[in-house]
Structure 1
Amino acid sequence: MPSKESYDAQKKEKPSVQKAKREGNQEDILAAALGMRMGPQKPSSATFWQPLKLLAYSQLTSLVRRATLKESDRTPRSEKVHNFKVRPKVKINIYCGMNVHKECSAQVPNDCKPDLRHVRKVYSCDLTTLVQAYNTARPMVVDMCIREIESRGLTSEGLYRISGFSDSVEEVKMGFDKDGEKTDISARAYEDINIITSALKLYLRDLPVPVISFEAYPRFIEAAKLTDPEKKLEAFREALTLLPASHKETLKYLMAHLKRVTQNEKFNLMNAENLGIIFGPTLMRAPNQDAMTALNDIRYQRQVVEVLIKNEEGLF
């Protein structure tokens, strides 16, 4: 908790200073959303925004190439389809180790039960695969990081906006990949809570299928564009039904956490809008769109997360 001296100092600040702090530095927030780290000497607005826009454009272009939207059943499912690697005469499922003849692979039901022996990493692993392999409701990275953040970081100024030291974040990532649930992310190992928030954001950005899946993405964007409050919330409820069960459960847990972050805004200076700027492109990526359309969607991605945070109890 903040000391009495720091709290008294905040009360004495001029309203204009307090407002500036509450609104936060938009350049820092967008940089955090894109995984960038700003140094103490910030560039001028003109020199900052142009390369940042180019970076956003290049990242979105790369993500659009990777994204695919398949026509499938609209009912949320946790089942993991088989992902076969070809070997001479047979195919081997890379998640559960099942071996089948090439000719028979198309007949195998889509009820893959991943085996931990075949899940070689945590980061960049499909969310549903990880959940089923560890038999958990949500990815253990999300649970462990949020528990740690809430135990000691909710009042930390600039939470999720300030990036942790990149080498330490990479160390946390490697720890999860190697040791899974045994990874130590306590204050003894990483005193700076920004390392844990950055590791969580990195995990979410690295997912091959985002938390807000490619199939559900267009419905969320359209819902964000609505102006009537009741129609907007109803559209969000419908969009949530398109998410696979493990994705929806992860999103629900994360939004409840971010709601608690905003409830400590007077200390951490992070409101729903600021968090929306950071988590919009972290939780959703445009499927099969040209880069310019995807770039224009960024403002609606922010609004999606903002609505989910503010209406967390009513939507989930």
Structure 2
Amino acid sequence: MAHHLCQAGEERRADRVNEFPHLWKSYLYQLQQQAPTPKRIVCSREVPNRPLHYGREFHGMISRAETEWQLHECDGCYLVRESQRAPGQYTLSMRFMAATKNFRLYYDGKHYVGEKRFDTVQDLVADGLITLYLEYNAAEYISMMCVQIKYEESPYMTLSSYQQKMRQMRIQKRSSFSSQESNSTRSPHEYDRPADDIGIFFQEDSVLGDIDVHRFEKPHNFRTHNFKGLPWCDLCGNFMWGIIAQGVKCEDCGFSAHRKCSEKIPNDCLPDLKYIKRVFGIDLTTLVKAHNTPRPFVVDMCIKEIENRGLEMEGLYRISGFSDEVEDVRLSFEKDGLHADISPGAFEDVHVITGVLKLFFRLLPIPLITFDTYPLFMNGVRQQTLEGRLDGLREAINKLPPAHYQTLKYLLAYLNRVTEKQKQNLMTPHNLSTVFCPSLMRTPDLIAQPGQLAAWHQESLVIEILISHQRVLFEYG
């Protein structure tokens, strides 16, 4: 499944190259086409103790002079030999530009001479010849290819602008069509809407104001990638040469680039739902940007469902729901997203929904109160007066990333409403802080240290003050 999705993605990239030919530079691609092709020099004699991972290209312990003679035919010829000076060590020798080049060759289940790992020596040589040829013929061009480009004129920005315009046209067309329908055909459930319209729901919430989720800063999640087909850099527009590990790709948005070019890209990742396949256990900013919402939709859906059922139930959040049902709700969110059914008809016990909300925050890789801001919150709560504590906590809150800030603001307003029913549900700010503290605020150093119990009490006090004084703390937010 993942292979087919990856292959489909590469085909879409090829279509983009054909659709916007002025964005892409073919010079390096043309050079790769001209690079020498590998030619294995087969050993004509039987070699005793031949390593199993080498084939007939292995010539045993031969001299440099014999190696030169074996490879004299043409560029691209190669063989593997055992070192005469260091038995048990192997050398890859290949002909390039009428000279023999020697590389220490390693094997750990894959063949390699550098960082890249190959299934066969033939692939290793093919990739090496391409790299050598491009570096020989275009070294200066390669060194300058990501220096001269303007990011705002890059293929990525051009294509993103085009895609945003097309998306906006689709939304406007759908909105125009929807306005012609009668109110009787409107969905009875506020979440039964297309994903593109989810922003409408959030904008109806008065606590949000005018929020542009795309402006939330997020670094790209680059990983070395084996591209299929003909890969092109989204920053400089040049071809990414080689047969494997040609460059890096953002696992959240699909931005593809040379490794050198990736170092020049600002923190403006726009995660795409094609790549974001999970809801629980992923970075908060990644999730909200992928769904174009200022807060995780899971938080909104759970809180609204709990409030619809009433906040008077005794032990709300203190009593745990059945773990199997909590897991069922989580899987439903993972599978159906906004269309997950968490109504009483599907899950009668409200404690299951409260358990899912706590689980969502507990699984965040970076907690809602981030590791970076943790010291600021702790310093704030250590002030001697309430006024000093509120000033310190307000300063810490304003240092949170936008997605964390908006989610914390919404959650605390809700928890404050829970405490307004404390006579019925017995959930005071202190009780709620005891329940939520482990999920919302985690010590950056996970190794227990002396005084850790005292630190936990201070962490719990942070959450308690945030719940009790949320109106004052966020009145300027």
User: Which band: TM-score by shorter chain?
Assistant: 0.7 to 0.9
Aligned to 2:461: 303
Deviation of 1:251 after TM superposition, in Å, equals: 0.5
Deviation of 1:221 after TM superposition, in Å, equals: 1.1
Aligned residue type for 2:220: H
Aligned residue type for 2:221: N
Alignment of 1:244 onto 2:401: yes
Alignment deviations for residues 200-220 of structure 1 (CA, whole Å, 9 cap, x no partner): 000000001111011110111
Of residues 339, 358, 374 in structure 2, which corresponds to 1:182? 339
Aligned to 2:222: 84
Cα distance change, pair 121–78 in 1 and its aligned pair in 2 (3 A): same
- Mark the structure with the bigger radius of gyration: 2
Q: Tell me, yes or no, if the aligned pair for 1:153 and 1:193 is still in contact at 8 Å.
A: no
SS state at 2:346 partner: coil
SS state at 2:463 partner: helix
Output the CA distance in 2 between the equivalents of 1:268 and 1:122. Answer: 30
| 4+ residue runs over 4 A deviation | none
- Percent identity between matched residues is 49
SS state at 1:85 partner: strand
Alignment of 1:165 onto 2:322: yes
Output the CA distance in 1 between the equivalents of 2:446 and 2:332. Answer: 35
Deviation of 1:295 after TM superposition, in Å, equals: 4.2
Correspondence list, 1:1-316, <5 A: 78-87=216-225, 88-288=245-445, 290-292=447-449, 293-316=451-474
Alignment deviations for residues 184-241 of structure 1 (CA, whole Å, 9 cap, x no partner): 1111110100000000000000001111011110111121122211111111111111
Output the CA distance in 1 between the equivalents of 2:388 and 2:446. Answer: 26
The alignment's TM-score, normalised by the length of structure 2, stands at 0.49
Output the CA distance in 2 between the equivalents of 1:227 and 1:145. Answer: 37
Q: Between the two structures, name the one with larger relative contact order (CA 8 Å, sep ≥ 6).
A: 1
Aligned residue type for 1:110: N
Deviation of 1:98 after TM superposition, in Å, equals: 1.1
Deviation of 1:176 after TM superposition, in Å, equals: 1.0
Alignment deviations for residues 54-111 of structure 1 (CA, whole Å, 9 cap, x no partner): xxxxxxxxxxxxxxxxxxxxxxx82110011212111110100111112221111110
Gaps of 5+ in 1: 1-76
Output the CA distance in 2 between the equivalents of 1:290 and 1:225. Answer: 22
Gaps of 5+ in 2: 1-214, 226-244
Deviation of 1:296 after TM superposition, in Å, equals: 3.3
Output the CA distance in 2 between the equivalents of 1:127 and 1:223. Answer: 24
SS state at 1:107 partner: coil
Aligned residue type for 1:166: S
Name the one with the larger helix percent.
1
Deviation of 1:175 after TM superposition, in Å, equals: 1.1
Deviation of 1:290 after TM superposition, in Å, equals: 4.0
Q: Tell me, yes or no, if the aligned pair for 1:92 and 1:99 is still in contact at 8 Å.
A: yes
Output the CA distance in 1 between the equivalents of 2:460 and 2:266. Answer: 38
Output the CA distance in 2 between the equivalents of 1:260 and 1:249. Answer: 17
Q: Tell me, yes or no, if the aligned pair for 1:237 and 1:315 is still in contact at 8 Å.
A: yes
Cα distance change, pair 219–289 in 1 and its aligned pair in 2 (3 A): farther
Give the count of matched residue pairs: 240
SS state at 1:116 partner: coil
Alignment deviations for residues 6-57 of structure 1 (CA, whole Å, 9 cap, x no partner): xxxxxxxxxxxxxxxxxxxxxxxxxxxxxxxxxxxxxxxxxxxxxxxxxxxx
Deviation of 1:289 after TM superposition, in Å, equals: 6.1
